[in-house]
Structure 1
Amino acid sequence: MNELTGRLVIQQCLSASLKLPSVEPREPEVVEVGRGMVVFVCFLNQASEVTVERLVKHIIDIRLSENDSDRRVSVCDIQGDILIIPQATLGGKLKGKAMQYHNNVDKNLGEALYHKLCQGVRTSVEKVSSGNVKCGVYGARQILNMDTNGPFTHIIEV
């Protein structure tokens, strides 16, 4: 049996905003996207650049968005936006009454893989779509606001 190396939770959205942590003395930055999807990502033990490549392909190719004919198409097909948020808690496992995160990748490697994922999605989207790709900050608390036309949430594991 192959060991899981990455997990995505993809939520279709009408719009979303993510308030990033502030760097004193500036106000917190807010990144915003329109119609498209919010992608939560977690890298697990044994994650590598191969994991990143597979996750990028899933994000770009998965047919979860609806076009004007109510057909399921990729987010790129509707020129949609993508907001990618690092979410280490997706690697948690319940033990008794507490969550444990022993299956998560090392923080430094996780941050490097997250940046590669964001860049890979941006590069792929720019080739085929006018949609925007925005990313959160790895290892920091952030505030998410999202309007959905669902719930329409999917989990993808590689």
Structure 2
Amino acid sequence: MRAVVQRVKSSCVSVDDKVVGAISHGLLVYVGVGKEDSEKDIDYMAEKIVNLRIFEDEEGKMNQSLIDIQGEILCISQFTLWGDCRKGRRPSFTDAQEPKEADRFYKKFVETCREKGVKVETGVFQAHMEVSSVNDGPVTMLIDSAKNF
């Protein structure tokens, strides 16, 4: 699994001009599922993201996690994180998981984050979405469960 994690002051997602998910202080998380991913990847990613210490403490150091600050997640499915741009000009998505299985993994990831006590809002799987956010920092992290980066 891959994720782009952004620290935000607020974020919302709309489908057909209707807001379907919104958060205040927390993380905007784009999640992509790869063909080789397993249930272990879901657990790794959820644990890593909710405990990632990228929020400032009283001394201004990134020393607090989403759980510490009681922040929220806006989670957006993003198969394009698996786009391979190394050859030619059009990305190849052959490493992305098939939609049915990717949807199952995405929902399980959201559920796992919620089980850890985090409020999670979501977009709509496979929908064309408009995502708005107010980045905080900005702080943006790339996370890969296979530890490729």
Q: What is the TM-score normalised by the length of structure 1?
A: 0.85
Alpha-carbon distance in 2 for matches of 1:44, 1:138: 15
> Secondary structure of the equivalent of 1:76?
helix
Partner of residue 56 from structure 1, selected from 31, 46, 64: 46
Deviation at 1:41, TM superposition (A): 0.5
Deviation at 1:30, TM superposition (A): 3.1
Alpha-carbon distance in 2 for matches of 1:107, 1:47: 13
Partner of residue 8 from structure 1, selected from 3, 22, 33: 3
Are 2:20 and 2:123, in contact at CA under 8 Å, matched by a contact in 1?
A: no
Deviations 1:102-134 (A, max 9, x none): 0001111100000000000011025xxxxx211
Pairs within 5 Å for 1:106-121: 106-121=98-113
Are 1:60 and 1:125, in contact at CA under 8 Å, matched by a contact in 2?
A: no
Deviation at 1:28, TM superposition (A): 2.4
- Runs (5+) with no aligned partner, structure 2: none
> Secondary structure of the equivalent of 2:109?
helix
Aligned to 1:70: 60
> Secondary structure of the equivalent of 1:69?
coil
After the TM superposition, which parts of structure 1 deviate over 4 Å for at least 4 consecutive aligned residues?
none
Deviations 1:11-43 (A, max 9, x none): 000001111x35xxxx72432101111111001
Alpha-carbon distance in 1 for matches of 2:100, 2:20: 24
Partner of residue 46 from structure 1, selected from 26, 36, 41: 36
> Secondary structure of the equivalent of 1:56?
helix
- Runs (5+) with no aligned partner, structure 1: 1-5, 127-131
Aligned to 2:73: 82
May I ask how many residue pairs the two structures share in their alignment? 143
State the superposition RMSD in angstroms: 1.4
Q: What is the TM-score normalised by the length of structure 2?
A: 0.90
1:138 aligns with 2:125: yes
Deviation at 1:149, TM superposition (A): 1.9
Deviation at 1:69, TM superposition (A): 3.2
